[in-house]
A and B are shown apart, each in its own frame.
Chain A
C-alpha cells in the first residue's frame, strides 16, 4: 500500500525529520488560504499515487496567494496518468543549495534493510543507478540492531554531505529508518533531501510504501488507504481476499496460485491469445469467493472467454467445483467458460462439474487453446 506525499511527510515529521511548513487542500480557495498563512512563495503539488507528477505539470511554484489559487484550480482539474487530482499539498518554497537522495528499503537477496543514498537527489534514482551506479551508496542494516549512528555518518561522508550538517543528517537518517521500522514499510524515501541556502536540511518530498501483510497491526495506517486511487475491481477483489490485476486482453483467467496464474497468462499468450487479467483465488476458495471472482472478471466488457485453471493442493478440487457451480447460480453469463481441474479430489470435482455447461480440458495447453478459439469465435 502506497501513501501520499503529504501522509508520508507527516510520518517523517513525527520521527524528527524536518519537513517544509504546509498543508493539504482539496479546493483552490483553501490552497489560497494556506498560501496566505505561509506567506511568501509556495509550491502547489498534486497528490496522486503515481510518479512523474512534475513532468505532467502537477508541481508548480506560486509567488502570491492569488497565483496559488489559480495554479491550484488548474492542478485540481488535471488528470495525471489517468488519475484525477483530488488534493494538492501547499508547501512553503525552499531556496535550494543542493539536493540529496536518501531511502531505506528491503534488500531481498541480503535479507536485510538497506539504506540507499546519493548526492544526486531530485531525479529518478533508478536512472542514477542505471547511468552512474558509482554515485549510489548502499549500507545494509542489521534488522535486530537498527541503523546505528556510525552507519549514518558513513553515508553522510560517502555522499559528500558537508561536515557541518552531519549531525542533522544522522538524525534524519535514523528518523527515516525509525519510520520504516515502525510502520512496517517496504520503502521510505526522501527525494530530494535538500540543503537550503540558509543551511537547513529539509525533506522536500517523501514517499512511503507499506507492507500489506503487516497492516493487521497498523490499523491507523490501514485507514490511510486511498481507494480513489485504485482500480475499483482491485479494491473489490481485495475485499474477498482475491488477488486481481487488470490487463488489456480478452481471456479472463481464474486460477488458484499466483505462479500458476502467471503461467496461465503466459500460455494464453503463447497460444495466440491475450489475457484479460491476473486473478489468484488463493487457498480454500468457497463459492462466495469464486462468485466474487467471476463478477469481477465479467465486469470487464472486453472478456470473451474465461479460463478456470485449478490445480488442487491446499485448495481441493471438489471445493472449487462446488464454488463454481454455486457462483454460476448467482452470476449468469453467456461468456463461454473452459475448466481444467487437476490434483486433490479431482475426480469428485470433475463429477460435480460434469452437469454444468462448461468446456473441459485435460491439460493447460488444451485449455488455453480452447479458450483462445472460443474468445475469437465470440469476438467475431
Chain B
C-alpha cells in the first residue's frame, strides 16, 4: 500500500484546484464543481486516515465518507436549483452579472 502522505498530497492538490475553481471561474455551475472537488479532497483525507490506526480498515472513516457524499449531493442539488432560478432572472450563468447586491 502507498504511504499516507501520497494520499494527503493528492488531497491538498485537490484543495488548491477546488479553491481556484470556486474563486476564479465565472460560470455558476463550475463554481459548484469547485465545491464538489473540495468536498472530495476532504473525503480522500478520511479514507487515507481510516487505514492508519487499526490492523484492518476502520469502518468509521468510511461511514463518514458515505454520509458526506450523500450530503454533498443534497447541497449540489440545492445549488443547481438556485442556478436554475438565477438563470430565469438573468438569462445567463455568468456570476459577474450577479453583482447587484452591495458589499
A complexed with B: no
Give residues in A with beta carbon < 8 Å to B: none
Give residues in B with beta carbon < 8 Å to A: none
